[in-house]
Amino acid sequence: MSDKIDYLLEDIETITPSPEFVAASPVPTDLDERAKADRLGFWAEQARDLHWHTPFTQVLDWSDAPIAKWFDDGELNASYNCLDRHVLAGNGDRVAIHWEGEPGDTRTITYAELLGEVKRAANLYESLGVTAGDVVAIYMPMLPETIVAILAAARIGAVHSVIFGGFSADSIRQRVEDANAKLVVTTDGSFRRGKVLPLKDTVDAALDGGGASVEHVLVVQRAKNDVSITEGRDLWWHDEIAQVSDEHVAKAFPAEQPLFILYTSGTTGKPKGLLHTTGGYLTQASFTHRTLFDLQPETDVYWCTADVGWVTGHSYLVYGPLANGATQLMYEGAHDFPDLGRWFELIQKYGVTILYTAPTAIRSYMKTGRKIPEAYDLTSIRLLGSVGEPINPEAWEWYREVIGGNRVPVVDTWWQTETGAVMISAIPSQTSLKPGAAQKPVPGIVVSVVDEQGNRVDPGEMGLLTITEPWPAMARGIYGDRERYVETYWSQFPGRYFAGDGAGVDKDGDLWLLGRVDDVMNVSGHRLSTMEIESSLVDHPFVAEAAVVGATDETTGQAVVAFVVLKQSQADKIAATDPVSDLRSHVAKDIGSFARPREVHIVDELPKTRSGKIMRRLLRDVADGKAVGDTTTLTDSAVMSAISSGMAQGS
DSSP 129-175: T--TT-EEEEE--S-HHHHHHHHHHHHTT-EEEE--TT--HHHHHHH
Rule CB under 6 A: choose which of 414, 471, 485, 563 binds ligand 6R9.
414
Rule CB under 6 A: choose which of 264, 348, 570, 635 binds ligand 6R9.
264
Alpha carbons within 13 angstroms on the beta-carbon side of residue 191 total 21
Q: Quick one: which segment of 71-79, 205-213, 307-315, 399-407 binds ligand 6R9 (CB under 6 A)?
A: 307-315
Residues in the interface with ligand 6R9 (CB under 6 A) total 21
Question: Between residues 154 and 520, which has the closer beta carbon with respect to ligand 6R9?
Answer: 520
Cα–Cα separations (whole angstroms), residue 413 to 306, 416, 418, 463, 614: 14, 10, 14, 19, 18
Cα–Cα separations (whole angstroms), residue 388 to 21, 71, 127, 267, 613: 26, 29, 39, 17, 8
Q: Quick one: which segment of 8-16, 187-195, 308-316, 638-646 binds ligand 6R9 (CB under 6 A)?
A: 308-316
Residues 580-639 that bind ligand 6R9 (CB under 6 A): 611
For residue 362, the SS3 value is helix
Q: Do residues 286 and 421 touch, judged by C-beta distance below 8 A? A: no
Q: Quick one: which segment of 70-78, 346-354, 409-417, 476-484 binds ligand 6R9 (CB under 6 A)?
A: 409-417
Residue 414: CB minimum distance to ligand 6R9, A: 4
> What are the b/e assignments for 218-248, b being 16+ CB within 10 Å?
bbbbbbebebeeeeeebbebeebbeebeeeb
Rule CB under 6 A: choose which of 293, 415, 479, 485 binds ligand 6R9.
415
Rule CB under 6 A: choose which of 417, 466, 536, 556 binds ligand 6R9.
417
Q: Do residues 82 and 278 touch, judged by C-beta distance below 8 A? A: no
Residue 546: CB minimum distance to ligand 6R9, A: 16
Residue 443: CB minimum distance to ligand 6R9, A: 17
Q: Quick one: which segment of 18-26, 39-47, 178-186, 496-504 binds ligand 6R9 (CB under 6 A)?
A: 496-504
Residue 310: CB minimum distance to ligand 6R9, A: 6
Question: Between residues 400 and 516, which has the closer beta carbon with respect to ligand 6R9?
Answer: 516
Question: Between residues 411 and 565, which has the closer beta carbon with respect to ligand 6R9?
Answer: 411
Residues 6-35 that bind ligand 6R9 (CB under 6 A): none
Residues 601 and 616: their CA atoms lie apart, in Å, by: 14
Rule CB under 6 A: choose which of 501, 510, 532, 545 binds ligand 6R9.
501
Per CB under 6 A, does 312 bind ligand 6R9?
Answer: yes
Question: Between residues 101 and 472, which has the closer beta carbon with respect to ligand 6R9?
Answer: 472
Residue 176: CB minimum distance to ligand 6R9, A: 21
Per CB under 6 A, does 431 bind ligand 6R9?
Answer: no
Question: Between residues 468 and 577, which has the closer beta carbon with respect to ligand 6R9?
Answer: 468
Residue 278: CB minimum distance to ligand 6R9, A: 20
CB-neighbour burial class of residue 448 (10 A; exposed 0-12, middle 13-18, buried 19+):
buried
Rule CB under 6 A: choose which of 81, 278, 413, 535 binds ligand 6R9.
413
Helices 638-648/616-623 angle, 10° precision: 20
Question: Between residues 78 and 499, which has the closer beta carbon with respect to ligand 6R9?
Answer: 499
Backbone angles phi, psi at 647, to 5 degrees: -65, -40
Residues 520 and 523: their CA atoms lie apart, in Å, by: 10
Residues 234 and 216: their CA atoms lie apart, in Å, by: 6
Question: Between residues 277 and 386, which has the closer beta carbon with respect to ligand 6R9?
Answer: 386
Question: Between residues 388 and 470, which has the closer beta carbon with respect to ligand 6R9?
Answer: 388
Residues 361-400 that bind ligand 6R9 (CB under 6 A): 387-390
Q: Do residues 372 and 399 touch, judged by C-beta distance below 8 A? A: no
Residues 571 and 600: their CA atoms lie apart, in Å, by: 17
Q: Do residues 350 and 301 touch, judged by C-beta distance below 8 A? A: yes
Rule CB under 6 A: choose which of 311, 433, 543, 549 binds ligand 6R9.
311
Question: Strand 383-387 to strand 354-357: parallel, antiparallel, or no bridges (unpaired)?
Answer: parallel
Residue 3 DSSP one-character state: -
Residue 373: CB minimum distance to ligand 6R9, A: 22
Q: Quick one: which segment of 171-179, 327-335, 370-378, 410-418 binds ligand 6R9 (CB under 6 A)?
A: 410-418
Cα–Cα separations (whole angstroms), residue 36 to 18, 33, 466, 507: 26, 5, 18, 21
Per CB under 6 A, does 513 bind ligand 6R9?
Answer: yes
Q: Quick one: which segment of 130-138, 342-350, 412-420, 467-475 binds ligand 6R9 (CB under 6 A)?
A: 412-420
Cα–Cα separations (whole angstroms), residue 513 to 392, 505, 549: 10, 9, 17
Q: Do residues 97 and 144 touch, judged by C-beta distance below 8 A? A: yes
Adjacency order of strands within the sheet including 159-162: 234-236, 216-220, 183-187, 135-139, 159-162, 258-264, 272-277
Per CB under 6 A, does 435 bind ligand 6R9?
Answer: no
CB-neighbour burial class of residue 525 (10 A; exposed 0-12, middle 13-18, buried 19+):
exposed
CB 251: neighbour CB atoms within 10 A?
A: 14
Question: Between residues 184 and 465, which has the closer beta carbon with respect to ligand 6R9?
Answer: 465
Question: Between residues 213 and 264, which has the closer beta carbon with respect to ligand 6R9?
Answer: 264
Residue 478: CB minimum distance to ligand 6R9, A: 13
Question: Between residues 254 and 309, which has the closer beta carbon with respect to ligand 6R9?
Answer: 309
Residues 98 and 250: their CA atoms lie apart, in Å, by: 25
- Binding residues for ligand 6R9 (CB under 6 A): 264, 310-312, 387-390, 412-417, 438, 499-501, 513, 516, 611
